[in-house]
Amino acid sequence: MSKIPTAPEPMEIDIQGMTCASCVARVERFVKKVEGVDEVAVNFANHVGTIHHQGLAPETVIKAVEAAGFQARLRQPVRATSPQEEAQALRDHEATAQHARRELIGAAGLAIPVILISMIWHLRAEWVNGLLLLLSTPVIFYFGRQFYRNTWRAARHGSTTMDTLIAVGTGAAWIYSVYGLLAYRGHSHAQSEHIYFEVGAGIVVLVLLGRYFEARAKSRMSGAIEMLMGLAPKTATVLRPDGTEAVVPIDQIVAGDILRLKPGEKVAVDGTVLSGNTYIDESMLTGEPQPVEKGEGAHVTAGTVNQTGSLIYRAERVGAETMLAQIVRMVERAQGSKAPMQRMVDRVSGVFVPVVMVLALLTAAFTFWQLRSLDVALMRAVAVLVIACPCALGLATPTALMVGTGRGAELGILVKDGEALERAAAIRTVLLDKTGTITQGKPSLTDFIVWGTRPRAELLALAAAVESPSEHPIAQSVIRAAQAENLAWPEVEDFESLRGQGVRARVQGQEWYLTSPESTAQFLALGSDQMVQISAMQAEGKTVFVLHDGHLAHAMIAVADTVSETSAEAIRLIRAQGLRPVMVTGDNRLTARVIADQVGIDEVEAEVRPEGKAQIVQKHQSNGAVAMVGDGINDAPALAQADLGFAMGHGTDIAMETAGITILRSDLRLVPLAVRLSQSTLRTIRGNLFWAFVYNTVMIPLAALGMLSPMLAAGAMGLSSVSVVLNSLRLKRFA
C-alpha cells in the first residue's frame, strides 16, 4: 500500500473545561473571530479542537480559547515511534474516570445521610438541621466545586454553560436553606419545612454519577486508536556499519538505517527488504487473513508481524511518516470531525442555557404568583435548571461518530470525516473502475501473436522496451513476460503516454507504438484476419494491444487480468442494499462485457478515457448520489467529482487523498460494508438526537409543572447523557 498522504496540517488543540454543547459553540465562535482561521470544529466527545488556518501561531488560537473561558494546549502529532507515550495519552480517559469515581464516592458518603435524614425525619431538632448543613456544604462546594469554578470562569467572559445551570440550582437551594435555618431559629418544625440541603447535595451526587458513567463509556470509545497504537514495537535491532547489532528504541531509528527482523518480531518501521525471505502477517492492518510472502525488494510495513523467516531491511519511513502512524492520524481526524447535522445542534446549544435560565425565572415567578409559596417556586425553578442541561445534545453526534469511525478502522475502512460518513449513507449508484478494483490489477500477458516475418523474441523485446518507462500494470505484464524469456531490450530515447490509447516510444531511432485496436486505426488499417483474431481475444475478456511502427502492424498482444475472488459477492451485496453498480473502464465494450458478466454487473461504461470518467460520474449524478471506487491517478478526477470517493488501499497517494473513504485491503466487499456502517452510524446519530430533543421537550414542562423533584431531574439528566453514550457504543458490535 502506498503512503497515505496528509493535507497541509491543521492545528489541533486539547481544550479543558468544556461541559456541554454550549461550551463548544462558544469556543468555536471565539476562534472563528481570529484573523487567518478558515474553519474550526470542536468535538465535545474528546475535547479536541481542529483549526484549519493560514499559518497561525498556536499561541494566537490558544489565547482565543482562553478568552472564551477555557484552557487549551497544543495537541502533539501522532508519533507511532513512541507508542508508550501515546498509550499514556489514551489512558487519560481511564484516569478521568477514576478521578470521577473518587469524587463520586466522597460526595455520596456525605450526601446519602443528608438525603436519608431529610426523607425519614421530617420534623427534626435544630441540631439535626445544623448537621445537615455541615454535611451538605462540602458536597455542594467542594465535590461540586467544578460547577462553580466553571460558572465563574464563563461569567467572567459573559457566558453561560451547563455548569451554570447546576451551580445556580444547587447554590439557590443551599442559600434558601441557610436562610431558613437562620430565619426560623427556635422553631425547629418550621425550620425543617424550609430546609432543602438534600436537594443541592443530591443533585451534585447524581450529576457526578452521570459524569462517572459517561467517563467510563468514553474510555471505551478510543479502543480502535489504542489497538492501532499498540501494534508498534518498542525496540528494533539495528545493524551497525561495523557489523555489530544493537537493540534500540524505535524513536531512535532514522531513514536509511539497516534493520534485522527476527522470527516472531514486529516490523518497526516502513522499509524495503534487502535480503532474506519470510511470510509477514498483515492482518492487523489490512484484515488480509493469509500471511504475505516477502523477499528482496518487497515493502514491509510497521506494526505487521514476521512469521518464521528472517529479513534484513532498510528503514524508509519512520515515526509519523509510517503507514501505521498515518492510519492512526486519519482515524483521529475522522473521530474529531463533525457531521453536517451537528452544526444545527451547535446552533441550538449556543442559545440553550440562557433560554433555560429565563424559563426557570418565569417558572418561579408564575408558581409564586399562583401558589404564593416561595418554597415550591424555588424547587420548580431548580428542577427546570437541572433537567435542561444540554449534555445529551452535545454528545449525540460526536460519540456515534467516534465509535463508528473507530469500528471502521478495525474493519479496514478509513473514513476521512463526518461529512464522508453522511454522504456514504445517501449513495444510490456505485461506479467501479475495472482494473485493480473489480480485477486484481495484476494482468499477465497471455498471447503474443506475430504478424509478419520478424522474430517473435525481437518483437517481444521491442514491446518491453516501449513499455519500460511506464508503471501501468499492463506495461509491467509485458516486461515480466520478456524477463521470463531472459530477453534484453534497448534503451528508450523518447517516451509518451497516449492517454486512454496506449504508448509511443523511440527505440534505436525508430518510432514504435503499442496502442489499442481502436487507436491503431488512426495510424493504419488492420486486415480482416487480424480483426478476427482481435475479436476472438476480446470475446475471452482479454485486453488487446497492437505493436506497430505507424505504418505496419507487427504483432498483437493480449493481456488478461483475473477477477478478484470477492468481486462477485461484493456486487451482490451492493445490489442487496438497493444500490446500482456500474462498471467504468477504458477497455472496449466486448472485453468489458465479459468481465461485467463474470461479476454480475448489468450496466457498463466502456471505452472511457481517463478524462472522461468525471463526465460519466456527472451523468449518473442526475439519478442521485454517486460513489466512485478506484485506485489510480487516472481515477482522481472522478473520485473528486463523485459525491463520495472510495480509494482501494493498494492504490496511489493521489487517489487516497481525493477519496472520502479508503479501503485498506483489496477486498471490494468492504465498499458495501462501509455504506452499511455509515447508515448504521447515521441511524445512531439520528436516534441520539431524537431522544435528546424529546427528553428536553418533555422533561422541561414536567419540571415546570412540579411533576419532577430537583433530585429526580438530576437523575434523569445524568441518565440521558449516559444513555446516548451507551447507544453509540452499540456500534462497536457492528459487523
Instruction: Give the active site residues.
Output: 433
Rounded CA-CA distance 144/464 in Å is: 77
Q: Classify each residue of 152-188 as buried b or exposed e, where b means 16 or more C-beta atoms within 10 Å of its C-beta.
A: ebbeeeebbbbbbbbbbbbbbbbebbeebbeebeeeb
Q: Classify each residue of 466-502 as buried b or exposed e, where b means 16 or more C-beta atoms within 10 Å of its C-beta.
A: bbbebebbbbbbbbebbeeeebebeebeebeeeebbb
Rounded CA-CA distance 581/572 in Å is: 9
Cell output for 530: 487480424
The residue among 535, 533, 472 whose CA lies nearest residue 503 is 472
Contact 589, 607 (CB under 8 A): yes
Tell me whether residue 254 is exposed, middle or buried, using C-beta atoms within 10 angstroms of its C-beta: 0 to 12, 13 to 18, 19 or more.
Answer: exposed
567-576 and 670-704 helices, crossing angle to 10°: 30
DSSP string, 549-571: -SS-EEEEEEEE-PBPTTHHHHH
Q: What is the 3-state secondary structure (H, E, C) of 333-349?
A: HHHHCCCHHHHHHHHHH
Contact 667, 650 (CB under 8 A): no
If you count them, how many residues does the chain have?
Answer: 735
The residue among 571, 573, 624 whose CA lies nearest residue 602 is 571
Terminal Cα distance for the chain, rounded: 24
- What secondary structure letter does DSSP report for 596? H
Contact 217, 133 (CB under 8 A): no
Rounded CA-CA distance 161/157 in Å is: 11
Q: Which long-range contacts does 187-191 make (Cβ < 8 Å, 24+ apart)?
A: 188/123, 188/124, 188/125, 188/126, 188/129, 189/123, 191/126, 191/129
What lies within 8 Å, CB to CB, of 364 at 6+ separation is 377, 378, 380, 381
Rounded CA-CA distance 351/349 in Å is: 5
